[in-house]
Structure formats: C-alpha cells, structure tokens
C-alpha cells in the first residue's frame, strides 16, 4: 500500500475465548494479543485464565479449553497490568470486538477494580467487512477463506487474533482507497458516522470551503493563518499550532507512510520551515 495508516504504531490483533456469551454471567478463559510494537518488533501474548467457574462442555467443544486446562493458572486480575501496558496507545484489531471481546474485557476490568486500557483506536474487522460490502458470510473463518488466509487452530485466541490482524491487512491492500485516512478515523468510517458535523460546530462552518493544498486529498487547506489540517483528529489546527501540540502527527503527514502526495509534502515542509 502507498499509504499505511498503521505505520509507526503498536498494532495488536486481539481475541478472547470465554465460558459463554454473556459478559455479565460468563468469564474469560484465554486471551491473546498478537502483532508488533512501534518499531516493528513482534509481540505475542497468549495466556490461559482461571475463570473461577466451570467451563460448559459445549463451550469446551468450541475452543478446546477444559476445566483441567485452567486449573492452577492465574485469575484475570493478575493479568490486568500486562494487558493495559500492551493496549494503552495501541491500535487494537479484533473481529466483532466491539460487541463481544471489548464488553467481556470491560466486565473483567470492572471486577478487578481497574480502569480500562486506552487504545489509540479499536478496529473491528467485522464492521469493516460490512462497510466494504464484502459478500457474506462475515464470520472470521469465511472471510479468511475469501482472502486466502490459512486459519489453523480456529477458536484459539492466538490463532484468531493473528488471523484477524492478517485479515485487516488483506482488506486494506484490496481496498486501499478507503484507508487513506488517519487510523483514528477508521472506526467512525466503518461505523458509518463522521465527525464532520460536530467538528464544524467548534471550528467554524467554512473549513471545508478553504482551498485544499494540491496533492493533499483534503488533508491540508490554505487559510489566512497559513496551512491548516483539514481532516483527522487535528482538523482545524494550523501547522504552527501542531508544531507545539502534536509534532509527531506532522511528521506522519510528511512521511511516505502518510496520505499526502509529494507536492503536498513539499508544501507542508515549506510551511514548517517558514514557521520555525
């Protein structure tokens, strides 16, 4: 891909196995975080969890984890610090993560009396597949088959987490035009909502009317105060403000991993040089 919104971030596929389907009644028996850190170094965390309840036989038939497997392993509250350290500031990728994995995680953190992790973004490959109108079925196994991904040991947390992350990369490569946006904006796009109306209320009604910098695809616009950011989490801020508030975001925009063409990158460099 010419533009990779995941570049420069810790990106982790996330999956859970549980005793059932209700976060209120059931518990986590296995979790996995699989991917890489900001420097591209591989990360693989996969642990069994003692759920403090019996695992129904019908659930064991799905993920293969039995009462005997979890006897003597740590309870979830012993893992919360490690999970938070991995997830905070990361891009978390999961399949049906918004409706299944994240509510289970929230329930376990609540039981442990600890605040939830704060990822940079949570990308749900189920929602993305539906947004892209990929033909159903949208089950993880079916989508992996559609994109030629080998999913061995399905319904184990590590295998599903790794497959989900690979699925995201396959969808991004197949539909690159939809991922020329900041990673934080992908969930809003996948959910069919945008921040435009809310942002316009606070930033004035004419931002979208400003002339875009050539080759910026609307990411940069020309105002009386100089170049302003036209999209993403810093929409409406000037380059001079960004030098003080979020220089790493400017560096991403200026890089080959960002969404700008060469002429727009040159314009941004010139603006930064004039303001320095």
pLDDT at 79: 98
Closest CA to 124 of 162, 159, 91, 80: 91
Q: Are 34 and 43 spatial neighbours (Cβ–Cβ below 8 Å)?
A: yes
Q: What is the domain partition of the chain in residue ranges?
A: 11-190, 196-275
Helix (H, G, I), strand (E, B) or coil at 173: helix
Residue 31, beta-bridge partner list: 16, 47
Task: Report the pLDDT averaged over residues 225-245.
Answer: 87
Per-residue pLDDT tens over the stretch 139-188:
999 999 999 999 887 789 999 999 999 999 999 999 998 998 889 889 98
Pairing of strands 11-18, 91-94: parallel
Fold of 11-190: Nucleotidyltransferase; domain 5 (3.30.420)
Give the per-residue SS3 of 216-258: CCCCEEEECCEEEECCCCCCCCEHHHHHHHCHHHHHHHHCCCC
Give the span between the Cα atoms of 126 and 163, in whole angstroms: 13
Give the span between the Cα atoms of 25 and 200, in whole angstroms: 42
pLDDT band for position 197 (cuts 50, 70, 90): very low
Average pLDDT of the chain to the nearest whole number: 90
């Amino acid at each position: 891909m010419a533009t990779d919104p995941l570049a420069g971030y810790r990106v982790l596929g996330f999956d859970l196995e549980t005793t059932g389907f209700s976060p209120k009644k059931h518990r986590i028996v296995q979790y996995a975080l699989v991917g890489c850190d900001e420097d591209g170094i591989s990360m693989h965390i996969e642990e069994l969890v003692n759920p403090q309840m019996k695992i129904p036989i019908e659930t064991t038939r799905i993920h293969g984890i039995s009462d005997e497997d979890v006897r003597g392993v740590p309870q979830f509250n012993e893992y919360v610090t490690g999970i938070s350290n991995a997830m905070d500031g990361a891009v978390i990728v999961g399949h049906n993560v918004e409706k299944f994995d994240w509510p289970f995680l929230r329930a376990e953190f609540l039981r442990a009396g600890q605040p939830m992790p704060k990822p940079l973004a949570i990308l749900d490959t189920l929602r993305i597949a539906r947004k892209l109108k990929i033909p159903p079925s949208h089950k993880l196994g079916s989508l992996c088959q559609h994109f030629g991904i080998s999913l061995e040991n399905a319904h184990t947390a590590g295998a599903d987490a790794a497959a989900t992350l690979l699925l995201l990369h396959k969808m991004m490569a197949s539909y690159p035009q939809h991922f020329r946006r900041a990673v934080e904006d992908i969930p809003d796009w996948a959910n069919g909502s945008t921040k435009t109306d809310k942002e316009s209320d606070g930033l004035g009604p004419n931002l979208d009317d400003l002339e875009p910098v050539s080759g910026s695809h609307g990411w940069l616009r020309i105002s009386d105060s100089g170049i302003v950011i036209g999209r993403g989490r810093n929409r409406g801020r000037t380059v001079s403000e960004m030098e003080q508030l979020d220089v790493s975001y400017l560096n991403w925009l200026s890089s080959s991993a960002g969404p700008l063409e060469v002429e727009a990158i040159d314009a941004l460099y010139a603006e930064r040089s004039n303001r320095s």
